Amino acid sequence: MDTPLDDIRIGRVSHEWAQVQKLKTFHFPVVDSTNTKAKAEAFMADTLSEHLIVYFAEAQSSGRGRGTHTWSNANPGSQLLSTWSFMLQDHVQPILSPLVGLALFKAANGTWPFLNFNLKAPNDLYINDKKVGGLLIETVSQGDDIRLLIGLGLNVLSAPSDVPTATCILHQLPKVAPLLAQDWITFLERFLFEVSIAIQMAAEPLDTTTCLTLIHTLNKHPLLTEKYTAMDSEGNLKTATKTINWFEL
């Protein structure tokens, strides 16, 4: 049965939001990978002056995850498939990775505070014990020019049918709280705001408040086998039995 959401295309809606914000933005019905596209165009003559370029797609033929992982497609148009390309003044510090993860959590939790969002280190967003999104964070450089590429995939209207551990925001919302267009715009605005703050914060070691917030958010993950007890200013996590470097996860 057709529903009003069948005609919604998350990439197109997000692209239109970016246009209203006067951002440099591209939208593709299908692309191999928004990350690959952003890399290829990172230092083209007509993009060098752009502080932020955002790439959106309705489907990816070769979506990437961290390392050798891939991103699984759901129904075309039902996911946020995006790469946010920021021009930087200097190379980013390694602590940017947990800061961007926290930025994603804050944006989602701030938009839908009645859902049990949590983080699984190093780059996955969950609702309860089901994965709803993931991040891919990379930098590319050419001469003195540096771009930070933040790939964000988020299951919004549906989740990949071949991934039983995945869910989507729509399926987790209570019946009395439908997915509203304004809520989606709020999420995009909050994500951009929180990521911009994270980039600024990455110039300094993690402060105590951020460390405690990250520990709290990570410990909310129901599949965690051993709770984190501390995090230092360099992003190293501690449990009762071991110390874990965030970047080795």
Confidence of residue 93 (pLDDT cuts 50, 70, 90): confident
Share of the chain above pLDDT 90, in %: 80
The stretch 37-41 carries a mean pLDDT of 95
**Joined tokens for residue 39:** 């890399």
Query: Is residue 219 situated within a structural domain?
Result: no
Beta carbons within 10 angstroms of residue 61's beta carbon? 10
Query: Is residue 239 situated within a structural domain?
Result: no
Query: Is residue 225 situated within a structural domain?
Result: no
Residue type, 244: I
Query: Is residue 245 situated within a structural domain?
Result: no
Distances (CA, A) of 214 to 26, 42, 115, 180: 32, 31, 18, 28
| pLDDT given for residue 63 in this prediction | 59
Among positive and negative, which fits the CA dihedral 196, 200, 205, 208? negative
Total of domains in the chain: 1
Query: Is residue 42 situated within a structural domain?
Result: yes
Query: Is residue 63 situated within a structural domain?
Result: yes
Q: Give percent helix, percent strand, percent coil of the chain, each to the nearest 5.
A: 30, 25, 40
Query: Is residue 173 situated within a structural domain?
Result: yes
pLDDT tens digits, 137-191: 999 999 999 999 999 999 999 998 888 999 999 999 999 999 999 999 999 999 9
- CATH code, domain with 177: 3.30.930.10
Distant-in-sequence, close-in-space partners of 232: CB < 8 Å, separation ≥ 6:
206, 211, 238
Residue 180's domain comprises 4-204
The stretch 5-34 carries a mean pLDDT of 93
Res. 67: pLDDT tops 70 = no
Distances (CA, A) of 90 to 107, 199, 203: 25, 11, 9
Query: Is residue 119 situated within a structural domain?
Result: yes
